[in-house]
């Protein structure tokens, strides 16, 4: 039976995340301390004792989820994936867990990604919205029909759940049209900007330089990447897809479908929460779901 390990993205953080790991494992504690050193501030203090508001800050959220996810995989006694994938930010966790990047380089890239995304958010007010109960093709068509604002599908999370991303005006107009087209819900999300849209272009350019400068190795198994939902093992391909990720949609539904087609029967979530298990269940109801 083939096992796929999956790594969550932004939104799966919670108060006290990682504290049990820190207290129960010397190996985990060493990695947490290393993370504090790399970031230049005590992220562990915010993870273990911080408020929801503090954990929501992009420069905290992204590294915190990455650290938690990777440490779980690193200390798992039987971590032997046949394939890995991560949702948005989680792709960095997946790459580190699969040996394509070191923990240090992965965390540095995640910190740079968070800072670059925050800067891009400040250039132009923008947002995202979750659209429930509508076919992907209808969402794509309505977004494409709005030409004087930016609004695009950003996350294909599972059948009947797509997140759109763009300017505030673009998302508001799309929401009205999508509700008129039969969407069960069109809910604006409490996020700082239009992730996975053309509005992230300044962040993509900034991150591209950091990704190209980082040391990548061939992973121990295929990594199913967000931009095309295909398995990759070649360093050049992995880097190119990772650079494209910030302005392209997260094809999570398609990634899970492809992993199942390639033989995945067990999906193990490595990270805080169980968000991905819920999504995988809606995409492939007959697979086994676990968490580390």
Report how far residue 201's alpha carbon sits from residue 194's, in angstroms, rounded to the nearest whole number: 11
Tell me, yes or no, if 68 is annotated catalytic. Answer: no
- Structure confidence by residue, pLDDT tens digits, 105-114: 999 999 999 9
- The residue ranges of DSSP E strands in 38-171, in sequence order, are 83-86, 126-132, 151-158, 161-167
Coil, helix or strand at residue 27: helix
Which pLDDT score is estimated for 91? 98
Reference 93, options 36, 29, 35; nearest CA is 35
Annotation marks residue 87 as catalytic:
no
Residues 254-281 have pLDDT tens digits of 999 999 999 999 999 999 999 999 999 9
Residue 246 CB neighbour total at 10 angstroms:
26
Model pTM score = 0.96
**Among candidate residues 1, 3, 11, 2, the one with its CA nearest the CA of residue 278:** 11
Give the pairing of strands 161-167 and 223-224. unpaired
Contact 280, 83 (CB under 8 A): no
- Widest pairwise Cα distance in the chain: 55
The reported pLDDT for the residue numbered 255 is 98
Are 18 and 44 a contacting pair, CB within 8 Å?
yes
Strand order across the 223-224 sheet: 231-232, 223-224, 83-86, 2-7, 264-269, 288-291
Q: What is residue 192's predicted lDDT score, i.e. its pLDDT?
A: 81
Determine which one of 93, 196, 255, 270 is catalytic.
196
pLDDT at 71: 98
Considering 12, 88, 126, 197, which one is annotated as catalytic? 88
Residue position matching structure tokens 């190795």: 217
Residues lower than pLDDT 50 in the chain: none
- Structural contact between residues 87 and 7, judged by C-beta atoms closer than 8 angstroms: yes
pLDDT at 190: 83
| pLDDT score, position 58 | 85
Note the pLDDT of residue 191: 84
């Amino acid at each position: 039976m083939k096992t796929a390990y999956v790594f969550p993205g932004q939104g799966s953080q919670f108060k006290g995340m990682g504290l049990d790991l820190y207290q129960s494992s010397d190996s985990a504690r060493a990695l947490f301390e290393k993370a504090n050193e790399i970031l230049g501030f005590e992220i562990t203090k915010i993870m273990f004792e911080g408020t929801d508001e503090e954990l929501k800050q992009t420069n905290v959220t992204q590294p915190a989820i990455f650290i938690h996810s990777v440490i779980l995989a690193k200390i798992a006694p039987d971590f032997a994936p046949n394939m890995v994938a991560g949702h948005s930010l989680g792709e960095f966790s997946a790459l580190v867990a699969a040996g394509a990047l070191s923990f240090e380089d992965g965390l540095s890239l995640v910190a740079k990604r968070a800072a670059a995304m925050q800067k891009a958010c400040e250039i132009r007010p923008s947002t995202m919205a979750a659209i429930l109960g509508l076919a992907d093709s209808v969402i794509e068509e309505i977004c494409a029909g709005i030409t004087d604002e930016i609004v695009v599908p950003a996350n294909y999370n599972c059948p009947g759940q797509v997140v759109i991303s763009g300017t505030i005006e673009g998302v508001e107009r799309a929401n009205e049209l999508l509700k008129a087209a039969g969407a069960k819900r069109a809910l604006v999300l409490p996020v700082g900007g239009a992730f996975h849209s053309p509005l992230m272009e300044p962040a993509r350019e900034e991150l591209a330089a950091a990704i190209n400068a980082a040391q990548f190795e061939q992973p121990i198994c295929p990594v199913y990447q967000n931009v095309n939902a295909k398995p990759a093992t070649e360093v050049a391909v992995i880097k190119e897809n990772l650079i494209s990720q910030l302005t392209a949609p997260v094809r999570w539904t398609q990634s899970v479908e492809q992993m199942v087609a390639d033989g995945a029967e067990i999906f193990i979530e490595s990270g805080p929460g169980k968000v991905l298990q819920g999504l995988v269940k809606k995409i492939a109801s007959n697979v086994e779901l676990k968490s580390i």
